[in-house]
Homo-oligomer: A and B are copies of this chain.
Amino acid sequence: MKQKPLILVTNDDSIVAPGIRALIQVMKEIGEVVVVAPDKAQSAMGHAVTINSTLSIERVSIDPDLDAEYSCSGTPVDCVKIALDQILDRKPDICVSGINHGSNSSINVIYSGTMSAALEAGMSGIPAIGFSLQDFSWNANFDEVMSFVKQLTLETLKNGLPEGIVLNVNFPKLKKEEIQGIKICRQAKATWQEKFDKRVSPHGKEYYWLTGEFVNQDKGEDTDEWALKHGYISVVPVQFDLTAYHAIQQLNRWEL
Residues of A at the B interface (CB closer than 8 Å) are: 41, 43-52, 54-57, 75, 77-78, 81-82, 84-86, 107, 109-111, 116, 119, 123-124, 151-152, 155, 159, 161-162, 164-165, 168, 181-182, 184-187, 189, 191, 194-196, 198-199, 205-210, 235-248, 250-252, 254-256
Contact = CB atoms under 8 A, between A and B. Distances in A.
Nearest to A86: B196
A48 B168 CA distance: 18
17 contacts: A44-B52, A45-B46, A47-B116, A50-B210, A55-B196, A81-B194, A81-B210, A85-B194, A86-B196, A86-B198, A152-B256, A155-B256, A168-B242, A185-B248, A236-B243, A237-B244, A239-B243
A110 B251 CA distance: 22
Copies in the complex: 2
Contacts of A235: 251, 256
Per DSSP, chain A at the interface is mixed
B49 A48 contact: no
Nearest to A72: B208
A232 to B, nearest CB: 11
Nearest to A74: B210
B254 A51 contact: no
Contacts of A239: 242-244, 247
